[in-house]
Structure 1
Amino acid sequence: MTLQFTVNGCEQVLEVSPTRRLLDILRLDLNLTGPKEGCSIGRCGACSVLIDGESVPACLLLSCQLQGRTVETIEGLRDEPVFERVAASLVSAGALQCGYCTPGIASTLTAALRNNPEATASELEQALHGNLCRCTGYSGLRQAIAELAG
């Protein structure tokens, strides 16, 4: 199929199988390696990207579901003020170690704060319910969330 969609503000036209995963398209075809392969079943959040502004696991989306949609990866969020605020909070709270889950967590928090700039800590924690971190023990992440909460 011919897939036309927008990735990080750039229109993309690709010939792909309708059952090709978004994660593979991003990483292998477009060299966007921020989203990581984790569990492959949508439960860990390492591959989280924004689809039309909502955080979604890229391992679960097929190319046939992407026609005309807008995808944002961590690479496309770098210069956005909300993302810069999220990244600064994660760093200052020590809420990252190996960095494997960090792109998904940062993308998800960015989407949550875009959609609700005055989100409470509880709302931000709820937004992150699909993101796991195996290294930090979550105390730093909770501190970052408290700093970001409105």
Structure 2
Amino acid sequence: MIHAPLPLVWSILRKFSNPQSYKQFVKSCDMVSGNGATGSVREVTVVSGLPAGRSTERLDRLDDDLHLMVVSIVGGDHKLLNYKSTTTVHEEEQEEEGGRTGTMVMESYVVDVPADSCEEDTCLFADTIIGCNLKSLAKITEKLVRLDVA
């Protein structure tokens, strides 16, 4: 649960051309084609220390009404083969916050297991990256909410 309003969270998450605004493992992003709408392709440079240097990704679907984003990895020097993620964003009431609304972000994926790996290691890697990205998104948006209230 992110303690920030859905419009704020979605406004950051949906920017396909700027994943480094919240994804801490992204060093830079260059648009290969498109302007961030469905069908756009980006080349992401990953920070050093990870078992990859770059990732080529395509925005398969972006729906601002449903708050839905589908991204496929179509190239790069990593082990996430045929990776496709679906991210959805929903508004939820926060009981612990006196009924205020917050935002739930859910990201699911499908990926092929490389020949030199196993399903457990592949999923652990993907889950760790997604978890770090979502924690970073929460930290950034919640900080923006605190700054706006102050």
TM category (shorter chain) comes to: under 0.3
Q: Which structure: larger Rg? A: 2
Q: What TM-score does the superposition give when structure 2 sets the normalisation length?
A: 0.26
Q: Pick the structure with more strand per residue.
A: 2
Q: Pick the structure with more helix per residue.
A: 1
Q: What TM-score does the superposition give when structure 1 sets the normalisation length?
A: 0.26
